[in-house]
Amino acid sequence: MAAAEPKPPTGAAAARRLARSCWSAFWDYETPKVIVVKNRRLGIVYRAVQLLILLYFVWYVFIVQKSYQDSETGPESSVITKVKGITLSEHKVWDVEEYVKPPEGGSVFSIITRIEVTPFQTLGTCAESMRVSNATCDSDEDCVAGQLDMLGNGLRTGRCVPYYHGSSKTCEVSAWCPVEDGASVSQFLGTMAPNFTILIKNSIHYPKFQFSKGNIENRKGGYLKHCTFHEVSDLYCPIFKLGYIVEQAGENFTELAHTGGVIGVIINWDCDLDLSASECNPKYSFRRLDPKHIPASSGYNFRFAKYYKINGSITRTLIKAYGIRIDVIVHGQAGKFSLIPTIINLATALTSIGVGSFLCDWILLTFMNKNKVYSHKKFDKMVDAPERGAGPGLCASEPSQQDCVLTDARGLAQL
């Protein structure tokens, strides 16, 4: 940035002059010289390409993709659930306390629809289940005392004993007796289950934008006591019938109630926070989450027990529960106008509009090269043309001195 001097005088004076010239040059304004090609066809191509790029950015990048927004995914979320309803098995009435596990009303809970009960289990010895590998036996020699099968029910005693029913025999085990496979009784609780109502309270918070919202809304007259969810008319009444959830997930209720299964209730909060808060609404979707196409691992069940002490000895009722597990999954993305992405995308747009001139330069080149069409006829008027003539000076032969200036400063050229 130092001015080069053609004939350097004495050192001090030269340095002073250099600094002054530098400083002066710093305040100069530079703009590239442009050449104006007065060819209508080329101009149309140029503007058309620019227009296409502009349209792409305005429409797709800014309007559709909202790239001027800063975004945040995964809001802080809290889910509170409450199931209501009663159902019947053959012998008894079941209330919420009995068929919802765990009872605390979190985001994941199971509604038991079928149970296999093994009552009166005590610690003792009894025949092993026939389903356990190598459990069947003919004599005591088939059973190794002290053997512990990881998928069995207990520690083998070494004896071969008659099975619970039928005439076969299995190895005796020291376990909770009788074993489940030998003595369990099935009960179906699912008859009324489609009518159970599930209240899902969800509140979210986008910390970056300090935005909070809930999925529940109060209206007059005990609205929340009587409403059920409807996507359009009752979006803010998050009370779902279990049958509705299962149906929306595309499953058959009776089948699901027998084998058990996991249904996801996905709440999506996609919010454009440039709009008013009332435009930010939850969207519910429902999907089966366990791999139902894989027989070996399809369905959902778990075991729990109730322990009793009778005459000092402990008895338990083991319950294998098949049920519909509901996983409430909350997702979302919020966007709000922000300077940085806007500027990055604007700069990209400006850079991309430059693609138009690459194309046109290439056309100019191709015209001249391939077709030898570079002429005054093809390019109606090329302002710099007099340069090519041996006129006395640039533009000297042009009638309007103005036109020449136009070739110099980029902005001026559009005059």
Which residue from 9, 10, 26, 167 is in contact with a second copy, where contact means CB under 8 A?
26
CB of 126 to a second copy, least distance (A): 12
The CA distance from 405 to 388, in Å, is 17
Nearer to a second copy, 77 or 254 (CB): 77
Q: How far is the CB of 167 from a second copy (least distance, A)?
A: 27
Does residue 392 belong to the site contacting a second copy (CB under 8 A)?
yes
Q: Which of 30, 90, 141, 231 binds a second copy (CB under 8 A)?
A: 30
- The answer to whether residue 16 forms part of the interface with a second copy (CB under 8 A) is no
**How far apart (Å, rounded) are the C-alpha atoms in residues 194 and 351?**
59
Specify the residue, 308 or 337, whose C-beta has the smaller distance to a second copy: 308
Selected from 147, 168, 184, 352, the binder of a second copy by CB under 8 A is: 352
DSSP state of 170: E
The answer to whether residue 412 forms part of the interface with a second copy (CB under 8 A) is: yes
| Phi, psi angle pair for 319, to nearest 5° | -125, 120
299-305 CB contacts, 8 Å cutoff, 24+ apart: 299/259, 299/260, 299/261, 300/110, 300/259, 300/260, 300/261, 300/262, 300/324, 300/325, 301/260, 302/101, 302/110, 304/101, 305/121
Binding mask 116-145 for a second copy (x = CB under 8 A): -------x----------------------
Task: Decide if residue 308 touches a second copy (CB under 8 A).
Answer: yes
- Our finding on whether 289 is near a second copy (CB under 8 A) is yes
Task: Select the residue interacting with a second copy from 111, 171, 189, 262 (CB under 8 A).
Answer: 262
CB 312 within 8 A of CB 247: no
Query: Per CB under 8 A, does 305 bind a second copy?
Result: yes
| 119 CB-near residues (< 8 Å, 6+ apart) | 183, 185, 317
Count CA atoms closer than 13 A to 358's CA, side-chain side: 5
Strand partners, 269: 332
CB burial class (10 A; 0-12, 13-18, 19+) of residue 413? Answer: middle
Q: Where are the alpha helices (DSSP H) in 202-272?
A: 223-226, 242-248, 253-259
Among 20, 59, 63, 74, binds a second copy (CB under 8 A): 74
Q: Judged by CB under 8 A, which of 304, 313, 337, 375 binds a second copy? A: 304
Distance CA 161, CA 140 (A): 8
Q: Decide: is 362 part of the binding site for a second copy (CB under 8 A).
A: yes
Q: Nearest CA to 146 among 121, 174, 180, 176?
A: 174
Q: What is the DSSP letter of 279?
A: G
Is 1 a residue that touches a second copy (CB under 8 A)? yes
Query: Does residue number 3 form part of the binding site for a second copy (CB under 8 A)?
Result: yes
Kindly state the tokens that stand for 154.
Answer: 């207990």
63 touching a second copy, by CB under 8 A: no
Assess 152 for contact with a second copy (CB under 8 A).
Answer: yes
Helix (H) or strand (E) holding 382: strand 381-382
Site residues for a second copy, 372-391, by CB under 8 A, read 372, 374, 384, 386-391
Type of residue at 9:
P
CB nearer to a second copy: pick between 21 and 136:
21
Q: Does 101 bind a second copy (CB under 8 A)?
A: yes
Q: Per CB under 8 A, does 37 bind a second copy?
A: yes
Pick from 250, 339, 376, 377 the residue near a second copy by CB under 8 A.
339
From 151, 166, 210, 231, residue interacting with a second copy (rule: CB under 8 A)? 151
**Of the listed pieces 136-144, 161-169, 243-251, 301-309, which binds a second copy according to CB under 8 A?**
301-309
Strand pairing partners for 315?
A: 308
Based on the shown chain and the rule CB under 8 A, indicate whether residue 199 belongs to the binding site for a second copy: yes
Three-state DSSP state, 159: strand
Query: For a second copy, which is the closer residue by CB, 165 or 370?
Result: 370
Does residue number 297 form part of the binding site for a second copy (CB under 8 A)? yes
Structure tokens at 13: 């004076």
Smallest separation (angstroms) from a second copy to the CB of 162: 21
**60 lines the binding site for a second copy (CB under 8 A):** yes
Q: Which is nearer to a second copy, 97 or 231 (CB)?
A: 97
